[in-house]
Amino acid sequence: MSEYSIRRETPEDYRAVEELTREAFWNVYKPGADEHYFIHQMRNHPDFIPELAFVAELDGRIIGNIMYTKAWLEDETGTRKEILSFGPLCVAREYQRHKVGSALIEHSFGIARGMGYDVNINFGNPGNYVRRGFVSCKKKNVSFAVEGNYPTALLVCELVPNALDGKKWMYIPSTAADCCEDTAAVEAFDAGFPPKEKKWMPSQEEFYIYSHSSVIR
Ligand SMILES: CC(C)(COP(=O)(O)OP(=O)(O)OC[C@H]1O[C@@H](n2cnc3c(N)ncnc32)[C@H](O)[C@@H]1OP(=O)(O)O)[C@@H](O)C(=O)NCCC(=O)NCCS
């Protein structure tokens, strides 16, 4: 694969990034996609971190991107720690499996460490992340919604080794993704893009299994 560069996203990139995101996510997790609407709204959300929005560019074309919001961990005393949560992360289909996604993660983690962040947590398909040091939330005592609930898809990556050791935590995500519950708004936004067929793909069933299960022991 030819040489590509990673740089900060600028407002001129917004539409291209939304188009890329729509194409990369289309039919992967549900028939159609809402991730392009999510990022469109996310950029105006108070939890969005513009310093950590990066694109991968090849010959003037954006072929990958990563975006982050703030999230929080609450310990047993109720004290909150600000952490990171990335997503969406995507790579154009024809460039997937060439380590562009890994490079976007590594690049942004390096900048994030410099900003003082020591933990990233996000929901995702474990197969995409476990090779890069992400572990089940259970291994780091991070519960979600109810103490002792460890979703299979909730993955923890310490940017600083052992940053979470010695405590029990509750994960508190940003509300940035809540906008996607407004399906009429998602549809209206999507109507501004070229028509695309919605259909079933097996990855949707895989996602259902991951997103409806927990690690129990
Ligand atoms: C997930 C995604 C960002 C990965 O980007 P990428 O550049 O293809 O990933 P990399 O080449 O860095 O892959 C690193 C590892 O991730 C895993 N991986 C990546 N894509 C995978 C896939 N489709 N199926 C299974 N494992 C995959 C593999 O272990 C891979 O290592 P390997 O190629 O040595 O086996 C990209 O496939 C994508 O945009 N997918 C659609 C959108 C999406 O699902 N985003 C993530 C939301 S959770």
Total residues found in the chain within this entry: 217
- DSSP element (H, E) containing 93: none
pLDDT of residue 217: 87
Domain residue extents for the chain: 5-176+186-211
Query: Which atom of ligand 1 lies at the shortest distance from residue 131's CA?
Result: 29
Cross-strand partners of 62: 57
Distance CA 21, CA 64 (A): 8
Query: HSE (CB half, 13 Å, CA atoms) of 12?
Result: 5
Query: 37 and 190 in contact (C-beta within 8 Å)?
Result: yes
Which whole number is the average pLDDT over 123-133? 94
pLDDT of residue 176: 98
Hunting for tokens 């919604």 — which residue is that? 145
How many angstroms separate the Cα of 178 from the Cα of each of 53, 138, 167? Answer: 20, 25, 29
Query: 83 and 120 in contact (C-beta within 8 Å)?
Result: yes
| Token pair for 171 | 């994960």
How many angstroms separate the Cα of 108 from the Cα of each of 73, 124, 129, 208? Answer: 20, 17, 15, 28
Which whole number is the average pLDDT over 39-62? 98
| Token pair for 43 | 């950029």
Split at pLDDT 50, 70, 90, the class of 185 is: very high
Mean pLDDT of all residues in the chain? 97
| Secondary structure (DSSP) of 140-185 | GTEEESBTT--BTTEEEEESSTTTTTT--EEEE--SGGGGGG-HHH
Q: Is the CB of 128 under 6 A from ligand 1?
A: yes
Q: Is the CB of 155 under 6 A from ligand 1?
A: no
> Which residue's CA is minimally distant from atom 7 of ligand 1?
101
Q: Is the CB of 24 under 6 A from ligand 1?
A: yes
pLDDT of residue 210: 96
Q: Is the CB of 127 under 6 A from ligand 1?
A: yes
Cross-strand partners of 57: 5, 62
Task: Return phi, psi of residue 193, to 5°.
Answer: -115, 165
Split at pLDDT 50, 70, 90, the class of 183 is: very high
Split at pLDDT 50, 70, 90, the class of 203 is: very high
Split at pLDDT 50, 70, 90, the class of 2 is: confident
| Token pair for 185 | 């708004």
What separation, in Å, do the N-terminal and C-terminal C-alpha atoms of the chain show?
A: 42
Q: Is the CB of 101 under 6 A from ligand 1?
A: yes
Distance CA 66, CA 86 (A): 7
pLDDT of residue 115: 98
Q: What is the pTM of this model?
A: 0.96
- In angstroms, what is the span from residue 128 Cα to ligand 1's centroid? 5
- In angstroms, what is the span from residue 102 Cα to ligand 1's centroid? 8
Residue 1 has pLDDT above 80, yes or no: no
Give the architecture (CATH level 2) of 5-176+186-211.
3-Layer(aba) Sandwich (3.40)
